[in-house]
Structure 1
């Protein structure tokens, strides 16, 4: 296990360097820039633009800018936001709790939805047709459209839930926070749960077709015990891998959901920074997302080895 962790960590370092270089180059290639708003203002003199460019370090070649950013980032200095001058680390840190809250709640809801649905779909052909239609709809519908539909029905028409934000103005109670969490968490859980239920259905059917399951049936083992004690643990190893990898993508990529519901997480911060070409914040967000994917990928490998000892044979 220690060998696996150390090897994955060593593989992650050059991967992060490559990601940082590619992302930095792509941001530099985007039309406009952090000074675009000033360039369009006729009251701002060219001398002022040049002074701002030098203050931000934008007058240096792209390669020099990248080396400066990388050396500072590795040393723990994430730089300062071009938008408001605040430290990038502080801006990201204050948004992370909201994103973790949303991703944690939606992941739990998705698991509560997908595991029983996947098991029932694997065992019952009739249920499989019904859940299959719902799953395909959940996977196919655009996230922003689904979110707007939830707002229209449950917030505007019925008035049961708030339509946006993390809490009401002046409210401090837990119940208000939970009410604001319901709609965005349901949106993410519905999309992820639909995909996870189909994946678990497939792995469960493959496991139920294995010879040891047939032998257990011949011995007269009760069906419920056969499914829960023998088939499900064997089907969970690949399922857990998919869940952890998708959770990593949710942490870094819940951009659309946070934008639709004005959820003050890192996803909405990314949208705001993208509009303003706030390079330091964008780089910090994308690097944090890459680290999250690598760490949860490593966690998935560790969990799979715990659930399925046969996978340890491939670890050198």
Structure 2
């Protein structure tokens, strides 16, 4: 147990260092954008005096290092600053959107994770069968197609027929059933993208273990093939399966930007794209850092769960 806690603390330290490096990259990338930010916000008709006053109000006349330290210090205390476009606190804008993004990610996860595990187990159980080949072809096809293309196909097939709305307009006041119905197409798009990867990893992990001596011994004893996979192979394949599931959960949270734009879903990804269009760099910085933090934390969870599921990693010899 001590080794596990030391590993978690080490991963947390590495994650904090990674977030620090990402924050520097985000801030530096914003700084390298061409043009004058104050001029872009005020428009070409603004006088030089107005632009200079607005630059002073935004703090753009201060050195970049000083502005970065103020920004990073504010984030460390929970203060993301104020939106340049709406003049509202960024924390309010993000709080209104992040719950929708998490809802969409959990919705897609609730569909994709059980589906991927069942398909992976069946593909391993009926290896080289027609079902296995069909599942692999379908998985490779869905992985090869980008999210926006899958989204537009689903809109053409399911929304044009009137089965589901093409615009996923959800609000916090909507009943759960209505939210699930409105967000079905974006959730299905994410499901098609991540299910294939998880299914193929589950299949590969099970098949690799089927050649192990203890599996051969179970077969020689006459244990049914389904029980061999469920009771003998699956527990020992949990580490890579949990790892790939957690990594795909990280993708579901951070990779919703394109899907939210396609379906005009009011989430954090849509807020990020709208802020880029408005040159609202303070919101762009905050949203980008939140996505990075979610990815780092979920990868940490993947490492911890994979280690816990494999006693050989917890109790080192």
TM-score (normalised: structure 1): 0.93
> How much does 1:171 deviate?
8.1
Write out aligned runs for 1:152-301 (5 A). 152-156=156-160, 158-167=161-170, 172-301=174-303
Separation (CA, whole Å) in 2 of partners of 1:106 and 1:38: 37
Write out aligned runs for 1:116-135 (5 A). 116-124=118-126, 125-126=128-129, 127-135=131-139
Separation (CA, whole Å) in 1 of partners of 2:19 and 2:216: 46
> How much does 1:195 deviate?
1.4
Q: Give CA deviations for 1:121-145 in whole Å, capped at 9, x if unaligned.
A: 2232122211111011100112111
Q: 1:290 to 1:83 in 2, by over 3 A?
A: same
Q: Give CA deviations for 1:140-194 in whole Å, capped at 9, x if unaligned.
A: 11211110111122112x10111112338x9833332121111110000011001
Q: Give CA deviations for 1:6-32 in whole Å, capped at 9, x if unaligned.
A: 222222222221111111101211224
Provide the residue aligned with 2:32 in structure 1.
Answer: 29
Is the CA contact 2:260–2:269 (under 8 Å) kept in the aligned structure 1?
yes
> How much does 1:252 deviate?
2.2
Separation (CA, whole Å) in 1 of partners of 2:213 and 2:54: 71
Is the CA contact 1:34–1:82 (under 8 Å) kept in the aligned structure 2?
no
Provide the residue aligned with 2:312 in structure 1.
Answer: 310
Write out aligned runs for 1:9-158 (5 A). 9-32=12-35, 34-38=37-41, 40-42=43-45, 44-124=46-126, 125-126=128-129, 127-156=131-160, 158=161
Separation (CA, whole Å) in 2 of partners of 1:273 and 1:33: 16
Separation (CA, whole Å) in 1 of partners of 2:194 and 2:214: 31
> How much does 1:66 deviate?
1.0
Is the CA contact 2:83–2:90 (under 8 Å) kept in the aligned structure 1?
yes
Is the CA contact 1:35–1:49 (under 8 Å) kept in the aligned structure 2?
yes
Separation (CA, whole Å) in 2 of partners of 1:33 and 1:263: 31
Q: 1:64 to 1:314 in 2, by over 3 A?
A: farther
CA RMSD of aligned residues (A): 1.9
Separation (CA, whole Å) in 1 of partners of 2:101 and 2:292: 16
